[in-house]
Amino acid sequence: MKKLVVLFTLIVSAFAFFSCEDSDEVSEEPYLIVKFQFDPTQVRLNNLGQPATIPSGHAAQSPDFSKISAHYFELAPTAYTQLGNGAILYHADETTAGGAVAIDFSKAVVVGEGEAFLRIPLSQVAQGNYEYVRVSLAYQEYNISIRNNGADYQGKLASFVGYNNYITTHSIGNNSFPVNGNRLQGYWAFALNDFPFATSGQAPAGATTVPNPIAATSPIPSGSCVVTGKFAQNLIINGNETRDVVITLSLSSNNSFEWQEVTSDGKYEPSIGENVVDMGLRGLLPTYVK
């Protein structure tokens, strides 16, 4: 009987030993994780990636961002890599339900600052030496200040900056905006925070700023929102990573909401005919932690 007890004890101990070894050897696969952040102090750039001031007769403010979405993400090895020839890691759903091909907003991944937008196993990322990030922004949501009859109010604006957007119904708080069709880049909707007022409109075609510092060697299509940014030090993926690689896309919100002034007071006052002319983010600075 004692021999059986000893044998049973040895068997249990052996299973426990091997179980511990197996547990120690199992490790989660490392991921490439992409997050956004918004910086109102980051340099304000134009379409060519050069510092830009606010044009005469216009005014602007730095909105308080709450949400963002993108529909395309690519790592590019050099300034000569043409759009689409790098490592394409994400392409959102599109649809022809509204006629022409458009981003399907109902399936968009919408996140806040610091939240993971993409999470891709590093085994699925092509090994390479990457100098640039290219991200096509699709949707922005932020708070802005408006003036009406001498009083200032706070409201939330939904800005669709993707090349073309198929929207059924979208909402801001308790305000619903039925669209049920395509809207080109520059469609926006707005609702006051504490008052029952909501409206929508369309910025002029081609007015949305899309910074691309390598436009001379790797241009983007007209009407797209593929923002390009350069790593301070190239991102190298060699296939031997054992920890997550976290990329943070810092977007410049420095006076990114721009309008034509009727009254030159730096206050956005749509009731007197001041129209939105640009809602494009003003630069991209990508960083990473390995």
Please tell me the predicted confidence (pLDDT) of residue 207: 83
Please tell me the predicted confidence (pLDDT) of residue 181: 98
Please tell me the predicted confidence (pLDDT) of residue 24: 43
Assess whether pLDDT exceeds 50 at residue 102. Answer: yes
Report the share of the chain in percent with pLDDT over 90: 84
For residue 16, the surrounding DSSP H or E stretch is: helix 2-25
Please tell me the predicted confidence (pLDDT) of residue 5: 42
Residue 18: which pLDDT band, with cuts at 50, 70 and 90? very low
Assess whether pLDDT exceeds 70 at residue 14. Answer: no
Assess whether pLDDT exceeds 90 at residue 96. Answer: yes
CA 108 to chain centre: 11
Report which DSSP code applies to 10.
Answer: H
Instruction: Give the closest residue to 211 by CA, choosing from 48, 44, 52.
Output: 48
Structural domain boundaries in the chain: 33-289
Give pLDDT tens digits for 55-95. Answer: 999 999 999 999 999 999 999 999 999 999 999 999 999 99
Residue 27: which pLDDT band, with cuts at 50, 70 and 90? low
More confident residue, 88 or 16: 88
More confident residue, 19 or 116: 116
Give pLDDT tens digits for 244-274. Answer: 999 999 999 999 999 999 999 999 998 999 9
Please tell me the predicted confidence (pLDDT) of residue 200: 93
Q: CB under 8 Å to 244, separation ≥6 — which residues?
A: 30, 31, 32, 33, 122
257-264 CB contacts, 8 Å cutoff, 24+ apart = 257/60, 257/61, 257/62, 257/63, 257/142, 257/144, 257/157, 258/54, 258/58, 258/59, 258/60, 259/58, 259/59, 259/60, 260/57, 260/58, 261/57, 261/58, 261/59, 264/59
* DSSP symbols for 140-208: EEEEEEEEETTEEEEEEEEEE-SSEEEEEEEEETTEEEEEEEEEETTEEEEEESSSS-EEEEEPPTT-S
Residue 16: which pLDDT band, with cuts at 50, 70 and 90? very low
Q: Which pairing describes strands 284-289 and 245-252: parallel, antiparallel, or unpaired? A: antiparallel
Please tell me the predicted confidence (pLDDT) of residue 218: 98
Number of H helices, E strands in the chain: 1, 18
C-alpha separations of 57 from 202, 266, 279, 280 in Å: 20, 10, 17, 18
What is the rounded distance in angstroms from the CA atom of residue 46 to the CA atom of residue 44?
7
Give pLDDT tens digits for 169-210. Answer: 999 999 999 999 999 999 999 999 988 899 999 988 888 999
Please tell me the predicted confidence (pLDDT) of residue 205: 87
**Looking at this protein, which amino acid is placed at residue 4?**
L
**Looking at this protein, which amino acid is placed at residue 254?**
N
Residue pair 156/63 in contact (Cβ under 8 Å)? The answer is no
SS (H, E, C) 202-246: ECCCCCCCCCCCCCCCCCCCCCCCEEEEEEEEEEEECCCCCCCEE
Coil, helix or strand for 251? Answer: strand
Exposure letters 138-147 (e unless 16+ CB within 10 A, then b): bbbbbebebb
Please tell me the predicted confidence (pLDDT) of residue 10: 40
Q: What is the mean pLDDT of the chain?
A: 91
